[in-house]
Amino acid sequence: MVIRDNSAGEWHRANLTGQLLNYPNSEEDDELNVEPPFDESVLTPEQKVKLDELHIEHPTLVRSDLAILIRLNLLSLRAACDGRELTFFEEQETRALEKVIY
């Protein structure tokens, strides 16, 4: 992989086939890493209460990260009750925050 600068001052990454891919500038990095607000409708009422409690205890943590922790804890406890470990698919589904997990 080759990284080169064009005349406009933008960095490009060229893969082995020679195709150029845009590489963002450091000024743009700050804007790209802004996390969109997550939709709390994917949480049950009990999970929302727990999220509020955890956010009060740990105000520096991001609410979406706390929601993921709550859901991971729920699924890992459920898996332990079934006598198994949490699967990769279950973990990825939990982190996506796309659907309600009861």
18-49 pLDDT tens trace: 555 555 555 555 555 566 777 888 899 999 99
Shared domain check, 49 and 74: yes
Shared domain check, 51 and 27: no
Residues 6+ apart with CB under 8 A from 50: 70
Shared domain check, 92 and 58: yes
Residue 75 reports pLDDT greater than 70: yes
- Does residue 101 form part of some domain? no
Provide the domain count of the chain.
2
Shared domain check, 56 and 9: no
Domain span including residue 17: 2-32
Shared domain check, 82 and 44: yes
Shared domain check, 23 and 52: no
Residue 13's pLDDT is what?
53
102: confidence class by pLDDT, cuts 50, 70, 90: confident
Shared domain check, 66 and 92: yes
Kindly state the average pLDDT of the residues 5-22. Answer: 51
In this structure, are residues 96 and 77 in contact, taking their beta carbons and an 8 Å threshold? no
